[in-house]
Amino acid sequence: PAKAKSRRLRWDVKASDMANSTLNPIRAIVDGMKLTPNKDKAMIALSIGDPTVFGNLPTDEAVLQAMRDAVDSHKFNGYAPSVGYLRSRQAVANFYSCPEASLEAEDVILTSGCSQAIELVIGVLCNPGDNILVPCPGFSLYKTLAVSMGIKVKLYNLLPEKSWEVDLQHMESLIDERTSCLIVTNPSNPCGSVFSRDHVQKILKVASKHCVPILADEIYSDMVFPGCSCPSIASLSSDVPILSCGGLAKRWLVPGWRMGWILIHDRNDVLGSEIRQGLVKLSQRILGACTIVQGALENILNNTPQSFYSKTISFLKSNSEICFGELSTVPGLNPVMPSGAMYLMVGIDMDHFPGFKNDVDFTEQLVTEQSVFCLPASAFEYPNFFRIVVTVPEEMMVEACARIREFCQRHYRPRSCDSSDLEQ
């Protein structure tokens, strides 16, 4: 070209805005904490949302056998279609299909974990400048992904006093013409709550009235305590398009395997081919799940015995009851009993703990004194709570609760006092 272009004369490589705006609040908060356990007490981490870390919740032998068979078959080494093998998609469709919300293979897209399912759904529904409605407290990935894509996040409140039901009025008040997606997490991380049929119907009514499609994060589907039912959101709607995200991570206890899926429910054909095509296109960017896991999927879904699921759930329920029972008699703490998933949220009466600035400070000091680490709920945009993961072995749960009690007893001040002079 005739005209000399201006070029760089020195090295000056900067990270992109997208990289810089990919913020993980859990990391941001945890990395900023001084976590120095009391060396006289063994560390108990109640913070990690990975049910496999303590070894007490192994996956089922049928799941492992399905993987061995997939390896031995030599059939699953090549590229799969970007949306997954038809047969594996069919297996997922069969597994989740129900009379009220039937599914065909073409309604299923396999992804690299539920995380990629969420990324693809937000990616296909939202443009920069749009906004999405996200539960508060809620799983932080929604915001991380949305903000990095230039999509605004509006948090709608969940109500602890109503077992974390949605504040429907608040949610509805947030909807405007740029609201392109409503995210509903049921059962919930971090709350462990499970919505009643009636409550889901009310949420659907709002979505229907304002014509907002739903991203249903149902990664904890069927992980509900006995006596509690949790129909899929799609099974309760006949008009709202619902993109349900799920995967093997939690229920089958293999989060590292990165097997997720999107179930497309669109009985009134609102989405048309554009959204489906859009999801296919997005899936072609990096392709999805590992073919060995895809090849094992049909057997995993069909051969895992019911007893495996029930065992996990009884354990989670029992641990939740222990934890709730213990902590509900600790002055200054307000645990909320969960009905599913693998979490329990505990409110802190900060008025009674004038020694601490907030939940981050509280949980940091809990590590220092008692070597118990709970995630401060600031990580879920919900200060003055902390989250307990109930997948740890029972004896650890018992011990952790005893230590939390000791810690609270030590720092509890019976009457609320003005904490302002303690700050700074």
Ligand X SMILES: Cc1ncc(COP(=O)(O)O)c(C=O)c1O
Chain residues binding ligand X by CB under 6 A are: 49, 113-115, 139, 185, 189, 217, 219, 247, 249, 255, 260
Separation CA 231–CA 218 (nearest Å)? 10
CB of 170 to ligand X, least distance (A): 20
Residues 6 or more apart in contact with residue 263 via CB below 8 angstroms: 92, 93, 96, 103, 107, 108, 234, 243, 244, 245, 246
Nearer to a copy of itself, 8 or 415 (CB): 8
Choose the contact partner of 210 out of ligand X, a copy of itself, none; CB within 5 to 8 A by kind: a copy of itself
74 binds, among a copy of itself, ligand X, none (CB under 5 to 8 A by kind): a copy of itself
Quote the crossing angle between the two packed helices 394-411 and 359-370, to the nearest 10°: 110
Question: How many other C-beta atoms are found inside a 10 Å radius of the C-beta of residue 17?
Answer: 10
CB of 66 to ligand X, least distance (A): 18
Residue 246 binds a copy of itself, judged by CB under 8 A: no
Query: Which of 157, 122, 156 lies closest to 141 in space, CA to CA?
Result: 122
Question: What span, in angstroms and rounded, lies between the C-alpha atoms of 378 and 411?
Answer: 21
Determine if 2 is a binding residue for a copy of itself (CB under 8 A): no
Which 161-200 positions form the footprint of a copy of itself (CB under 8 A)? 173, 175-177, 180
> From the CB of residue 73, how many other CB atoms can be counted at a distance below 10 Å?
12
Query: Does 417 sit near a copy of itself (CB under 8 A)?
Result: no
E strand intervals along 52-168: 108-112, 131-136, 152-159, 165-166
Question: Whole-angstrom Cα distance, residue 393 to residue 397?
Answer: 6
- Give the nearer residue to ligand X in terms of CB position, either 249 or 348: 249
Of residues 223 and 360, the one with the C-beta less far from ligand X: 223
**Cα–Cα distance for residue pair 236/239, rounded to 1 Å:** 9
Question: Which residues make Cβ contacts (< 8 Å) with residue 415, sequence separation at least 6?
Answer: none
CA–CA dist 175, 171 (Å, integer) = 7
User: Phi and psi at residue 314, in whole multiples of 5°?
Assistant: -60, -40
Mark the segment that binds a copy of itself (CB under 8 A) among 97-105, 110-118, 370-378, 405-413. Answer: 110-118
Q: How far apart are CA 87 and CA 111, in angstroms?
A: 15
Q: How far is the CB of 142 from ligand X (least distance, A)?
A: 8
Stretch that binds a copy of itself, among 44-52, 230-238, 303-311, 374-382 (CB under 8 A): 44-52
Closer of 90 and 163 to a copy of itself (Cβ): 90
Name the binder of 185 from ligand X, a copy of itself, none, CB < 5-8 A by kind.
Answer: ligand X
Are the C-beta atoms of residues 369 and 34 closer than 8 Å to each other?
Answer: no
- Answer with the entry of a copy of itself, ligand X, none that 368 interacts with (C-beta below 5 to 8 A by kind): none
| Binding partner selected for residue 9 from a copy of itself, ligand X, none, CB under the kind-specific 5 to 8 Å limit | a copy of itself
Pairing of strands 242-247, 259-265: antiparallel
- Pick one of 17, 98, 302, 314: the residue that binds a copy of itself (CB under 8 A): 17
| From 35, 105, 147, 290, residue interacting with a copy of itself (rule: CB under 8 A) | 290
Distances (CA, A) of 24 to 29, 231, 347: 9, 31, 23
Q: Looking at residues 380 to 409 of the shown chain, list those that interact with a copy of itself (rule: CB under 8 A).
A: none
Least Å distance, CB 370 to a copy of itself, is 25
Q: Answer with the entry of a copy of itself, ligand X, none that 17 interacts with (C-beta below 5 to 8 A by kind).
A: a copy of itself
**Smallest distance, Å, CB 307 to a copy of itself?**
19
**Is residue 39 a contact residue for a copy of itself (CB under 8 A)?**
no
Closer to ligand X at the Cβ: 135 or 335?
135
